[in-house]
Amino acid sequence: MFPLQQQPHMEDSADPLVTVQQMQFWLDKAVAWGQAQTVETQRDTCQHLSRLRDFTQQLLKHINSMASTTETMKRLPLIGQFLGRLCWIPSVTADASSRSLLLQCLWGLFSEHPGSAVERKANQWIRTVLCQLVTEEDAKVEPLIRQMGVAPKDYHLGVLRKRLALLQQNFEKNCNCLADKNQRCPHDDSLAVSESCIPLVTCQEAAPLINTLLQRPASCISAALSEDFLDALNSAHSRQSLLLEEQGIISLWYHNLPSLEEAVLRLLESVLANNESSPQKLEQLLEQALLPKACAQHCSMFLVVNDIFRSHHGVFEAWFLLVQCVHWVQLTAQLLVTSETQDCGPLLWLFTFYYHPTNRGHHRASQLGHAKEALDHLRALFSPLNPPLPVGSLQSVMTLLSPAQQQQQQSLSTLLIINLLVNFAVFSRQSLIGSAEVLQMVVDQSGLLNEAARVLVSLELSLNRGRHLSSDTNRVQLRVQKLQHTLTHMNVTEQHC
């Protein structure tokens, strides 16, 4: 296999990254995998593929830490034989990550300026192996490929696609569960097929077969999928090296609890990392996460997600429900600006909780006080009686929006105040000219033009969906359009300044 194999020198075997004993273990595995192509060896290969990748990654670090190929060979005399045998194991070279690591290891052993006969011979061998790996063709079909004028890569890709399509066709034909979810599958080939797909999880040609496997009902004992297969799918999907259909992602969560837990935690991290996210952004995050849709389809998944949110002290459980129904928050804002002052307590609590779900106790009470203060000052600014503009209320609102105020621990979210501001401008009985003037002054002095524009867009969408309480739809829509024109004009003016 490898012409440079040397006898082990035990005095040089100690290494913090890779040991001779580890190398011997994996070499024995490679020998066994290459000598017999049986179901057992294929299963063993697939089950060890993830650990093999980890070991190859460590081996690559070891190679890169050595001063020369000669030193690497001295410390790990079996490395050439090990890498050489891996090159001819289809289950290893078919996996994109394993193949990439293998090629990097070979290239790491290549000496740009060989300083000995050993390194020159190593370079010659590495060139041969790399060339064969990239352009390998079956001698029996090579003349036919040449005669047809087909590129070798296209030919082999076509063979792979046809093989996968045939496997999927036979798989679906032998499985009645895809047509009738309540019927138990009479076949038990799911485990073997899923194990054989482990090296192909990053191969897009295998995606249809993988999606078919995932959609087999978990209630069927015969339809059990390999845990190694599910773990490989979850790892590839997390690295964004595998594109699954929407239903395939949900099915992966259904079959594999760790993948569901990771999805929920990623959503929480996204939310916590974007404290100033707009309602539209939060709604978009939920839609992209697919968790509400998955929970609606599978009661068991809803219970798992619910338990995870409960583990965060119950706060996110209620917040999760509220964000799914974000139009409730929009209606709350509308009611706050159109209701009488004494009726706003519960509505203000709900509105504040949406923007500050993690705060409790005196923090919650303090923010409710700030929210009530902002509401009162905004109500004065948008009074329908058209009095002189209350400068004190304007200054108070600007203070709440100031950077100095926002740096305080118990500060009120700027998005909360801007949301109330825009809702007052849209739904108040103040003249449109007066409302536009107040809106323009606040967003101009606070620098929150884009935030106000996003709230207006959200309101427009809500109006188009019929999610509003106004009986005068035409009037409200006209005000939204005029206010949008005002903000657009401000944006254009800023860009020309």
Q: What is the pLDDT along the chain (497 residues), one digit of tens a residue?
A: 333 333 333 334 344 578 889 999 999 999 998 887 777 887 888 888 889 999 999 999 999 888 888 999 898 999 999 998 888 887 787 777 888 888 889 888 888 778 888 888 888 888 777 766 655 545 445 655 565 566 766 766 776 777 777 667 666 655 555 555 555 454 456 777 787 788 788 887 888 888 888 876 555 555 678 888 898 898 888 888 777 888 889 989 988 888 998 888 888 787 777 655 555 566 677 777 888 888 878 878 888 887 777 677 555 656 666 665 667 778 888 889 888 666 688 888 888 888 877 666 677 788 888 899 999 999 999 988 766 788 889 899 998 888 877 776 567 788 899 999 999 999 988 899 999 999 999 999 988 998 899 889 888 877 777 656 556 778 888 999 999 998 988 877 766 66
Residues 489 and 354 in one domain: yes
DSSP 8-state assignment for residue 149: T
* Calpha distance 192→44 (Å, rounded): 11
Residues 46 and 78 in one domain: yes
**From the CA atom positions of the chain, what is the Rg in Å?**
32
Q: Is residue 115 part of a domain?
A: yes
* Domain endpoint, select from 265, 300, 322: 322
Three-state SS for 37? coil
Residues 74 and 127 in one domain: yes
Query: Are 400 and 417 a contacting pair, CB within 8 Å?
Result: yes
Residues 359 and 316 in one domain: no
User: Which amino acid appears at position 379 of this protein?
Assistant: R
DSSP 8-state assignment for residue 2: -
Query: In degrees, to the nearest 5, what angle opens at C-alpha 159 toward C-alphas 157 and 164?
Result: 95
Structural domain span for residue 44: 20-133
Q: Is residue 187 part of a domain?
A: no
Residue linked to tokens 């296209």: 154
* Domain endpoint, select from 113, 133, 153: 133
Residues 393 and 298 in one domain: no
Residues 336 and 482 in one domain: yes
Residues 400 and 477 in one domain: yes
* Calpha distance 2→77 (Å, rounded): 11
Q: How many domains does the chain have?
A: 3
Q: Is residue 183 part of a domain?
A: no
Longest Cα–Cα distance in the chain: 97
Residues 313 and 348 in one domain: no
Closest CA to 108 of 169, 66, 78, 161: 66
The total of other beta-carbon atoms located within 10 Å of residue 431's CB is 11
Q: Cβ neighbours of residue 436 under 8 Å, at least 6 residues apart?
A: 425, 482, 483, 486
0.75 exceeded by the pTM? Answer: no
User: Which amino acid appears at position 358 of this protein?
Assistant: T
Residues 341 and 483 in one domain: yes
Residues 266 and 353 in one domain: no
Q: Is residue 104 part of a domain?
A: yes
Residues 342 and 310 in one domain: no
Residues 350 and 482 in one domain: yes
- Give the long-range contacts of residues 280-285, CB within 8 A, separation 24 or more: 280/326, 280/454, 280/457, 280/458, 280/461, 282/323, 282/326, 283/323, 283/326
* Domain endpoint, select from 85, 108, 133: 133
Residue 420: phi and psi, rounded to 5, are -65, -40
Q: Is residue 4 part of a domain?
A: no
